[in-house]
Structure 1
Amino acid sequence: MVEVSNANPLINTYLKYKWIFLSFVVSTLLMIAKFIAYYATYSSAILTDALESIINVVASAFAFYAIYLASQPKDLNHPYGHGKIEFFSAGLEGVLIVLASVFIVFHATESLIHPTLFKDLKIGLSIISLGTVINYILGYFIEIEGVVKKSPTLIADGKHLKLDAVSGLILVAAVILVYLTNIVWIDGVASIIFAVFMAWNGIKIIRKSIGGLMDETNEEVLEKVVDILKSNQKNDWIDMHNLRIQEYGADIHIDAHLTLPRYWNLEKVHDVVHEFEDIIGESFNSAVEIFIHTDPCLPECCHYCKIENCPIRQVPKTVDIDWNKVNLSLNQKHFLENV
């Protein structure tokens, strides 16, 4: 087993704290401004944006706690660390988005049935426009940081802020139309349209977080590992199977079965396994924990063994095994009859 980390965990955690705290502060200020805009206008569309901002604040607060918990070291109760709290945090944010969209639909429907006279829409338009720009810029940089740091929490928060910015564009267009045409129902319809869009994105965030909690394979990470193995494959690595990858927030856990020559001594096996682990671990910029189970080669492996002048070879090499994500993930040696 080896654990590799090519990035200082304290620096990574500090950067996550910085971005999520900035998100919390900005979301709080924008929420206050949007409610002021609502009470100045009584626009259903502006109320929609204000309610969505409450979610931003709550989600950012919980995300801050999630990042704190995820940074805690492994212990007896959590031998794989606390990283999965980030998936839970992202899922909670998705749930809050869906709940807010349901409330928005009810409020917008009521405003269509019992329309309210608007006040000064210019104030609301100015505040929503400013909030749209700020949210998109902040969300863009937070999502990028989340991708770099492999943080589901930051990615979800960044997507949420960008979603809030898209909502702002829709609502700004609706407010402008109401201002120009005096057709009040446009306000409610725009709110409902955005609520549906919001719910759909919330469901996608929930779906991804559930996948992370259930150790669903991340195809991007799996393909990266397979590419690393194929480009660095040694003749001594006779066979490999049962490759499994789990994500714990930003941390990655990899285990696999590696077939090596059965006539090697334990020291030689130990050195090759460490070389194997280092090749994989050094290719990631986050903490990687690797467990390798070694199997001795069997006579059936001779068909695809690449070792030249093997002292125990029984039959010549006749086939090549393509190390792809399907072959490497199978829980069996790749004997000739399985090729």
Structure 2
Amino acid sequence: MHTNKKAILVSLCVGVILMVAKFVAYAITNSNAILTDAAESIVNIVASSFAFYSIYLSTQPKDENHPYGHGKVEFFSAFIEGVLIVIAGIIIVAKSGFDLFYPKHIQQLFEGAIIIGITGLVNLIIGLYLIKTGKANKSLTLEADGKHLLTDTVTSAGLIVGILIIEFTGIYRLDSIISILVGFYIIFSGYKLIRKSVGGLMDESNVELVGEVVNILQENRHNSWIDIHNLRTQQYGADLHIDCHVTLPYYYDLNKVHKEISDIDQLINHSTTHKTEFFIHADPCLPACCHYCKMTDCPVRAEAFKREIAWNLDNVTKNQKHFSL
């Protein structure tokens, strides 16, 4: 079984067990704070189910209808998970707000805290496992699910503290207040996940990723790579698609141009952890490029070399040659 599928299936099975445990804790205590944690477990299961399908789909090979593969579905999966988290948070805040003014009797909080503590520890272990696997395989879905479980762990820890305070102080209204605060934290976590997934669906530039590619090109540049500009990236699941313009000496024949472009492709694929597909447009050099061109044996140089223009995020992503020093 594919590593990503195995990881999300483990998350799903464990999530069902933990959800049952949390609802048992709620039945014992009648605590809103514990119900908050149990309700979020339902979201975990629904999100993991959708994530399992999205991971299955993202591992399918390219076809005629999906020439870039199916990796984008992972952004959609993360979006759905974020929306579910926000909805759960809103419901939690609304119910807890009502019970703040019409409180219910709660009991056996110490036993409930023990159950929530155990589920929180399990979520911590599974969450770290998913994040580690997701980063290793460049899966946004696994990372999102792992971070969701870590959020659940944090909320469980907060609930345990709150439950114990209620148990020792007897201030039962704190149950709803704690639940409301946790609800707002859950809403904020969901918003961040939605923001990241929408950015991926809209092909928002990944500045960190682009910066990594630019640094690799700068550190390994050939003299014949006179200029690189209009560099853009798109991420499809674990795959990275990059297109850019490369200025090469205009007297190079087609075989030489192909060789230089292949060198760039191999450089990036051997230097990053992403599987990268390059689309490179070759531009011919102009006399205005001579002052920053480092070709030592150029037969058509019109001006002496002055100094190299270092490539960075600002100039490589612009759609123009770097004429000015």
Fold-level match, TM-score > 0.5?
yes
**SS at 1:259 equivalent:** strand
Q: Which residue number in structure 2 is paired with residue 174 of structure 1? A: 162
User: Aligned-pair distance for 1:115?
Assistant: 1.1
- How is 1:267-286 mapped onto 2 (pairs within 5 angstroms)? 267-286=255-274
Q: What pairs with 1:1-339 in structure 2 (closer than 5 Å)?
A: 14-336=2-324, 339=325
* Deviation of 1:273 (Å): 1.0
Cα distance between partner residues in 2 of 1:330 and 1:187 = 55
Q: More displaced, 279-288 or 268-277? A: 279-288
Secondary structure, in 3 states, of the residue corresponding to 2:234?
A: strand
- The residue type equivalent to 1:249 in the other structure is G
Separation in 2 of the partners of 1:53 and 1:118?
21
SS of alignment partner, residue 95 of structure 1: helix
C-alpha distance in 2 between matches for 1:54 and 1:284: 37
Give the Cα–Cα distance (whole angstroms) in 2 for the partners of residues 330 and 31 of structure 1. 50
- Secondary structure of the equivalent of 1:293? strand
Indicate the SS of the match to 1:282: helix
Question: Distance in 2 between the 1:115 and 1:276 partners?
Answer: 66
For 1:20, the aligned partner's letter is: I
Output one character per residue of 1:64-106: Cα deviation in whole Å (capped at 9) or x when no partner. Answer: 0000111111122211111011011111111111000000011
Give the deviation of 1:285 after TM superposition.
2.5
TM-score, reference length from structure 2? 0.98
Cα offsets for 1:100-153 (capped at 9, x unmatched): 000001111121111111132232111100011111121112112212221110
Q: Distance in 1 between matches of 2:313 and 2:191?
A: 28
Residue deviations 1:215-235 (CA, integer Å, cap 9, x gap): 111111111101110110010
**Alpha-carbon shift at residue 252 of structure 1 (Å):** 0.5
Unaligned residue ranges in structure 1 (runs of 5+): 1-12
| TM-score normalised by L of structure 1 | 0.94
Measured in 2, the distance between the counterparts of 1:46 and 1:309 equals: 75
Give the Cα separation in 2 of the matches to 1:217 and 1:286: 16
5+ residue gaps in structure 2? Answer: none
Q: Tell me, in whole angstroms, the C-alpha distance in 1 between the residues paired with 2:3 and 2:273.
A: 15
State the superposition RMSD in angstroms: 1.1
Q: Distance in 2 between matches of 1:153 and 1:135?
A: 17
Aligned length: 325
Equivalent residue of 2:2, what SS?
Answer: helix
Distance 1:200 1:136 in 2: 19
Take 1:95 and 1:334, find their aligned partners in 2: how far apart are those partners? Answer: 43
**Aligned mates of 1:245, 1:193 — CA distance in 2:** 39
Q: For residues 326 and 55 of structure 1, what CA distance do their matches in structure 2 show?
A: 41
Q: Structure 1 vs Structure 2: percent identity of aligned residues?
A: 49
Q: Distance in 1 between matches of 2:209 and 2:303?
A: 36
Secondary structure of the 1:154 match is helix
Which runs of at least 4 in structure 1 moved beyond 6 Å after TM superposition? none
Between the two structures, name the one with larger relative contact order (CA 8 Å, sep ≥ 6): 1
1:298 and 1:39 map into 2 onto residues whose CA distance is 77
The one-letter code sitting in structure 1 at the alignment partner of 2:48 is S
Aligned partner of residue 180 in structure 2, secondary structure:
helix
